[in-house]
Amino acid sequence: MAAAEATTVLSDADFPARWGNTVPDDAFYGRSDVVKVELPPRIKKIGSCAFSDCENLEECVVPLGVKVGEYAFYGCEKLRGTTVLGDAHFP
């Protein structure tokens, strides 16, 4: 059986309201199905290791003023582009 192709795009519906304005630490850690992340405008902080080891993540769209936690994208070897909509802080 062939491995499933990574095709998931994370968007507003994937970031529950109960999270408020923060993507929690380790929220999507190790998700090999994710190829793109489009953070909703309400997100102001990405927690530590939130997307770490998402080995097929290629692109991330980050809203204005987002603070990015340590190792948030560690191990995302295919991440080629991060679109920052305004001013974001990466450690």
pLDDT in tens, 9-37: 999 999 999 999 999 999 999 999 999 99
Residues 55-89 pLDDT 10s: 999 999 988 889 999 999 999 999 987 766 666 55
pLDDT at residue 64 in the model: 82
User: DSSP of 18-38, one letter per residue?
Assistant: GGTTEE-TTTTTT-TTEEEEE
Strand order in the sheet with 59-62: 8-10, 34-38, 59-62, 81-84
Tokens of 30: 């190790």
Examine the pLDDT at 47 and tell me if it is beyond 90. Answer: yes
85, 91, 89, 74: which is closest to 41 by C-alpha? 85
> Contact, 59 vs 35, CB < 8 A?
yes
User: What pTM, to 2 d.p., does this model score?
Assistant: 0.84
